[in-house]
Amino acid sequence: MNMPAANIEKQPFAERIEPYMAIIAPMAMIVAIFLFMAVASPTRFFRPDNLTLILQDAALYMPMAMAMTYVITLRGIDLSVGSVAVLSSIIMAFLVKQYGFSIYVGIPIALTIGALLGLINGLIITRFNVPDLIGTLAMDLVYKGLALLLAKGLVLARFPEVLTELGRGQTPFLIPTPAVIGMLVMALGYFALKRTYFGRYTVAIGSSPESAELTGIGVNRHKVYAYVLCGACAALAGLMLTGKQNAIQATMAPFFNLHVIAAVVVGGTSLFGGRASMIGSFSGVLLLAMMLNALVTLRIEFFWQPVASGFVIISSVALYAWIQKKDRDGAMGFFAGLKSAEGRKTMQLVAIIIGLLIALLAIGGITAGEVTASG
């Protein structure tokens, strides 16, 4: 996080490293966490099994982060990954547990259902012209509802070993099986971004849909591809989660959506499209997993977790916005804007709201009566 300071002093250097900022920024944050933990709680954080745990947590998000990188690069967003993961896993669980399907059929079925749900998302967005945000948000409700309808409150548990291996298996080299799968998927995603039509057109469409259309690229078709990929990867994550817990219920994975989007955005993939960074997404996933793990290791109350996630997201996105602003000469420092008329009006609003809150608290405090137990 101390990169900006270096940028101001040495402009040419800043220009040279700019293309790599997407990788440098999350890496710098990861190193910062490492250093911080080395001071704060080295024995607990750097235990091999804790590092394995971090990888295992991160692994769950890797496939989805890979697919989400494509979707976001296309100027889309998929808010339904969480419920796609749960719904496809629940269907798989029912087939395996209630109907005696082989797990070797069940896993491909779950992935196919994920792809199908993604296809529905994609078609709704491209055929009915529903904006990505609304379309996937609404379908998230639909899929979540269907999962609840199917499973009721049931917890389906105890699955064949293949699935638990997928979720919490351990390779001989310290790295958990899910992490191997996750990294493999991300590596494939990285490769596809550079070397396939799909990857190239994803960037082109996100960069300028009009230009892509003019050069004869099937814009809607590639959008649908991205959502199908996202659905299938969400299903894979669902399988990994089911394997990890060796159980599945409809209310699992509530934080999937925003966590995945956060990891991708922290990694430097632009929400405005065209700028993809697969390595950034990978570091983003690792960063969030490490940060959450660090909070646990430091025995900080669990509920600080979303607060910390929010801070990381805001600071990284603000950093990227700052990097991309080419003309920094006119800014005259962060607080210069406050001196303008616009800035003063904003400050007035700030003062009014804070003043109002203080006044109300004071009135409440003065007139406070006896305290009665709630409930």
Partner 1 sequence: MTDKKPIISMRGIVKRFGGVVALNDVDLDAYAGEVLAIVGDNGAGKSTLIKILTGVYQPTEGAIKLDDQPLEMSSHADAIDVGIDAVYQTLALADHLDPAANMFLGSELTKKVLGITLLDNKKMRSETERVLMERLGVRLRSLDAQTDSLSGGQRQAVAIARAVYNTNLRVLVMDEPTAALGPQETARTLKLIKALKEQGLAVILISHSLDDVFEVADRVHVQRRGQNVGVVKTAESSTQEVLGMIVGAKEDAA
List contacts with partner 1 (CB under 8 A).
194-197, 199-200, 203-208, 210-212, 214-217, 274-275
Q: Name the minimum Å distance from CB 175 to partner 1.
A: 26
Question: Phi and psi dihedrals of 172, rounded to 5?
Answer: -65, -15
Compute CA 339 distance to the chain's CA centroid, rounded to the nearest angstrom.
37
Q: Name the minimum Å distance from CB 340 to partner 1.
A: 29
| C-alpha R_g of the chain | 23
What is the three-class DSSP state of 173? coil
Q: Name the minimum Å distance from CB 26 to partner 1.
A: 20
Q: Residue 323: which residues within 8 A CB-CB, separation 6 or more?
A: 7, 18, 21
Q: Which residue number, 162 or 219, has a Cβ lying nearer to partner 1?
A: 219
Q: Name the minimum Å distance from CB 154 to partner 1.
A: 42
Structure tokens at 288: 């969030």
Q: Name the minimum Å distance from CB 197 to partner 1.
A: 7
Q: Name the minimum Å distance from CB 208 to partner 1.
A: 5
Do 155 and 149 contact (CB within 8 A), yes or no? no
Which residue do the tokens 């700028």 mark? 275
Distance CA 275, CA 107 (A): 33
Q: Which residue number, 202 or 242, has a Cβ lying nearer to partner 1?
A: 202
Please report the DSSP string for 113-157 in residue order.
HHHHHHHHHHHHHHHS---HHHHHHHHHHHHHHHHHHHHTT--EE
Do 175 and 169 contact (CB within 8 A), yes or no? no
Q: Which residue number, 299 or 326, has a Cβ lying nearer to partner 1?
A: 326
Q: Which residue number, 65 or 74, has a Cβ lying nearer to partner 1?
A: 74
Q: Name the minimum Å distance from CB 79 to partner 1.
A: 24
Q: Name the minimum Å distance from CB 72 to partner 1.
A: 13
Report the candidate in 189, 312, 165 with the shortest Cα–Cα distance to residue 246.
165
Q: Name the minimum Å distance from CB 262 to partner 1.
A: 22
Q: Which residue number, 33 or 205, has a Cβ lying nearer to partner 1?
A: 205
Structure tokens at 363: 């009135």
Do 84 and 234 contact (CB within 8 A), yes or no? yes
Q: Environment class of residue 175 by beta-carbon count within 10 Å: exposed (0-12), middle (13-18) or buried (19+)?
A: middle
Q: Which residue number, 81 or 203, has a Cβ lying nearer to partner 1?
A: 203
Q: Residue 192: which residues within 8 A CB-CB, separation 6 or more?
A: 198, 199
Q: Which residue number, 203 or 291, has a Cβ lying nearer to partner 1?
A: 203
Q: Which residue number, 171 or 196, has a Cβ lying nearer to partner 1?
A: 196
Distance CA 251, CA 83 (A): 9
**CB neighbourhood size of 71 (10 A):** 30
| Side-chain-side CA neighbours of residue 62 (13 Å) | 27
Q: Which residue number, 215 or 340, has a Cβ lying nearer to partner 1?
A: 215
Q: Name the minimum Å distance from CB 205 to partner 1.
A: 8
Q: Which residue number, 12 or 364, has a Cβ lying nearer to partner 1?
A: 12
Question: Phi and psi dihedrals of 156, rounded to 5?
Answer: -95, 125
